Structure 1
Amino acid sequence: MKKIGVIFGGLSVEHEVSVITGMQVMENIDKTKYEVIPIYVNKDGKWLTGNSLMDFKNYKDGNFKDAKEIILSPNHGDNKIYSHPKTVGLFGKKILGEIDIVFPAFHGMNGEDGTVQGIFELMDIPYVGCGVLGSSVGMDKILMKDVYKANELPVVDYTWFYRSKWLKDKDLIIKDIETKLSYPLFVKPANLGSSIGISKAKNREDLIDAIEVAIRYDRKIIIEQAVENLREINCAVLGFDDEVITSLCEEPIGWEEILSFEDKYVKTNEKGGKSSGERRIIPAGIEDNIREEIEELAKKAFITIDGRGISRIDFLLDANNNVYINEINTLPGSIAFYLWEGKGYPFKKLIDELIAIAIKVHEEKKENMYSYEANLFNRTQYGSKVKKV
C-alpha cells in the first residue's frame, strides 16, 4: 500500500483555505489503496504530523494532542519522516515513518509557488501537481501574462511595478499607469490568490487606495485593464505533456465586479448546479463555439507553462464574446473536483488519476542524464601551484 503524504497549511494568507483542501483530499482518497499521512505546516512554519490532524474540528480549537514536529530531508532518495531534532531526547524516536508520494494541498506563497516542489525534487520523490517552474510561473501573475503574451495567448492589457518604486515616486507610477491604461482598472498583488488584496479602481483616488492595499501583500503589483460587462468562465485541464483533457466549464454567478474571498469559499455551493440560487452554473451557459475556444485555450495555457496534474484556468468573456485568459490556478491551488464529476471523474477517481500522473512524471524524470564524464578535475590546472615570475 502506497504511503501518501498530504501536506497543507503553510505560511500564507490562504492558510485556512489550504487546510480545507487538505481535508478534502484526505477524506476522499481511496484508503484501500493508500495509507494517508497528514503533514500540517502551521502558521509559525512548523511541520507537524499526527492522527489528530485528520479531524477538521481540531483546527477550530487548535487541539493537536498527538501532533509531532517533524522535518523532511532534502537528501536524494531519502523519503523518511524525521522527528525535529529539538523535540527528540537522548532515547527519542528519530524516524517516525516514510512516504512514497507527496500530495501538496497548499494555497498561495510558500507552497503553491514552486518552493516546496523544489524540496520534493531534491528528495527525488513523486509529487502531485506542477513542477518548480510551472508552479512559479503560474503563481506570479506578471510572469504568467508575459509568457502567455509571448505565446500569442489572449490576455488583457497590463503594467506592473515594484513596491520599492511606489514608495520612492508615487506620482511617476501613477503617470505611467494612466499613460498605458485607462480606467476602470484592477489592482492586484502579483503573487496571491483567493482574491485577497485585489481592488477595482474607477479613478485616480481609487487607484492610490488600491495600490496601498496591494503593497501590503506583495512587493510586485500588477495593474490590469478592466473588462466591462464581463462573464467569468472557468475550465480545468488534466494531464501531462500534450496528453491533456478538459473538464466541464463553469460560470460563477451572483458576484459584483470582483469574485471575492467570501464568494469563492463561504457562499459557494461546491456541487454547483443550474439553480439561480446557487453560486455557479455547471456546465456554463455558453455557445458551443465559445466553449470549444475556451477548451483549446485552456489546454494551451496549461501546456505553455509545463503544466502537470491538474489546473483550473479562469477566463474573462466580454459583451462581444472576446475571450481573455485571466489566470491559471495550478494544483494545489485548484483541484476543481466539481468540474470533473460530469466528465466521469468523481473526486476519488480524480485523486487516483493525479497520483498516477505524479508517478508517470517521476518515472520519466529517470530518463534524463544527470552526469557527464568530462574528466575535468584532471584536465584543469585549478588548485595547482603557479610559479611566480
Structure 2
Amino acid sequence: MKLKLAVLFGGNSTEHEISIISAIQAIGYINREKYDVIPVYISKNNDFYVGEHVDKIEEYTHMNDLIKKSTKVIWVKDGNKVNLVRYPQKLFGNNVISSVDIAFPIVHGTNVEDGVLTGFLQTLGLPVVGCDVLSSAVGMNKYVMKTVLKDNGISVLDCKVYTWTDNEEPEKMYDSIEEKFKYPVIVKPINLGSSIGISKASNRDELKEAMELAFEFSKKVLVEPAIVKLKEINCSVLGDYENAEASECEEPINSDEILSFEDKYIGGNGSKGGAKTGGSKGMASLKRKIPADITKEQRDQVRKMAVDAFKCLGCSGVSRIDFMLDEETGNIYLNEINTIPGSLSFYLWEPLGKRYTQLLDDMIDIAVKQDREAHKLVFSFETNVLEGVHLGGGSKGSKM
C-alpha cells in the first residue's frame, strides 16, 4: 500500500518563489510506485491549497488565478489519522480531501524553514522529512549556529550582532564595527538565505548602506570580516545525528564578489530547463565546478567538517553546508548551513552515483525511521497532580 506523502511549499517568506521551484522540481522525481504525492501550496498568507494545478510551475505566473481554481484546506487530526479537509466546508458531501501519512516540507527562509512549519506538523503527529524544530531554528540563525559550532571546535569566522536598538544610534554602531573589524566586512541579515540582504562594505559609507539594507529584512544583523581572496566551496550531507555521509564538493562561479540571488536562481536558466515537470532548474542552474577545484586534502577536510557540523547541529535529511576557503592562508571556515537547500542539492549527489529519486527515497526513509524511534519515547505519563487542586479567584490568584 502506498504512503500518502504531502509535499509542502511556498509560505510567508522572502524565498517563497524559490520554494515553489524546488518543490515542483522534486515532485517530478518522487517514486510514484511507493508514494501517492499530494502537493500542498502555502500562500503568502499562510493558507494551504491543493488541487490539480498546484504542481504545475507555469500556473504560478498568475498566483491569484491559481488560488481561485484550487481548494483551500485545513489540517485536522482525527484519532490516529491526519486529514486535509476542505475549508470552508460544504454542507453536503465529503469534505475530506485526503489523509496524510508523511509530510515533506520543501520550503526556504524565515517563517517556514526555521522550524515553525515543522513544529506545526509535528503537533499533528506526522512524520516530517528533514530537520527537527531545534536544528532548523539553529541552522536559520547564523549567530547561534556559529556559536554552537565554535564551541564544538568547528572553524567559523568571528562575528558580531547588531539590533534595531543599536541602529537608533548608527554612528556609535559604525564605530563599534570599525573597532572590532578591519575593512572589508560582510553584512547580512541574521536569519535569511538566498543571499538576500547581504552586501560587502569597504568603507564607512558602504557600511551605512549595507546595514540599512540588512535591517530591511531582519531585526538583527550580523557583521563579519570579509575574506579578500575567497573561494566558495559547498558540500551536501545526507543522514541524521547517528549516520551521515557527504556529497561531492562544488565551487560556485559567481558574477560578483558575493553570490547573488540572481546568480543562484535566475542566471543561466533556459526557457525550457528544469525537472520533468518543466520550469526553472533552481539551484541546479547555478554556474559551478563539480568537483570543486581544490586539493584532495581540502576536499577531505570540507567533507569531514560538513558531516561533523551536520551531526553537531542534530540535522536530518539533506542539508547543504557552505564553506569559505581563504586562498591566502589556506584556512577553511564554515559559512552557513541550509537545512532545506535549493533543489535539495541533488546535483551534488549525482556525481557519486545517487540519482535524485534515490535521494528523495533516502530522505523519506530517514523520517520514517525517526518517527519509529520517537514512538519508543515517553512524552506523557499518568499522574494525579490535578486531584484536589482548587484555584481561588481574585487578582492575586491562589497558591496550591
Q: TM-score, normalised by structure 2?
A: 0.89
Which residue is equivalent to 1:247?
Answer: 247
Q: CA RMSD in A?
A: 2.3
Correspondence 1:358 to 2:367: yes
Tell me how far 1:256 sits from its aligned partner.
2.4
Which residue is equivalent to 1:80?
Answer: 83
- Assess if the C-alpha contact under 8 Å between 1:51 and 1:67 holds in 2: yes
Q: Specify every segment of 5 or more residues in structure 2 that has no aligned partner in the other structure, as ranges.
A: 275-284, 394-400
Percentage identity across paired residues of the two chains: 40
- Assess if the C-alpha contact under 8 Å between 1:138 and 1:329 holds in 2: yes
Which residue is equivalent to 2:5?
Answer: 4
Which residue is equivalent to 2:281?
Answer: none
Q: Name the count of aligned residue pairs.
A: 378
- Assess if the C-alpha contact under 8 Å between 1:232 and 1:315 holds in 2: yes
Which residue is equivalent to 2:32?
Answer: 31
Q: How does 1:314-353 map to 2 (within 5 A)?
A: 314-319=322-327, 320-331=329-340, 335-353=344-362
Give CA deviations for 1:310-363 in whole Å, capped at 9, x if unaligned: 101000001122000000000255610000011121001111111100101111
Q: How does 1:1-389 map to 2 (within 5 A)?
A: 1-62=2-63, 63-64=65-66, 66-73=69-76, 77-84=80-87, 87-91=88-92, 93-166=94-167, 168-268=168-268, 279-319=287-327, 320-331=329-340, 335-378=344-387, 383=391
Q: Give the partner amino acid of 1:156.
A: L
Q: Give the partner amino acid of 2:290.
A: I
Which residue is equivalent to 1:274?
Answer: none
- Assess if the C-alpha contact under 8 Å between 1:75 and 1:122 holds in 2: no
Instruction: Please give the secondary structure, in 2, of the residue aligned with 1:120.
Output: helix
Q: Specify every segment of 5 or more residues in structure 1 that has no aligned partner in the other structure, as ranges.
A: 272-276
Q: Give the partner amino acid of 2:304.
A: E
Tell me how far 1:39 sits from its aligned partner.
0.4
Q: Give the partner amino acid of 1:153.
A: I
CA distance in 1, matches of 2:299, 2:357: 26
Tell me how far 1:163 sits from its aligned partner.
1.6
- Assess if the C-alpha contact under 8 Å between 1:74 and 1:122 holds in 2: no
CA distance in 1, matches of 2:268, 2:337: 20
Larger deviation, residues 328-337 vs 75-84: 75-84
Instruction: Please give the secondary structure, in 2, of the residue aligned with 1:111.
Output: coil
Give CA deviations for 1:187-207 in whole Å, capped at 9, x if unaligned: 101111100111100011111
Q: Give the partner amino acid of 1:215.
A: F
Tell me how far 1:91 sits from its aligned partner.
2.3
Q: TM-score, normalised by structure 1?
A: 0.92
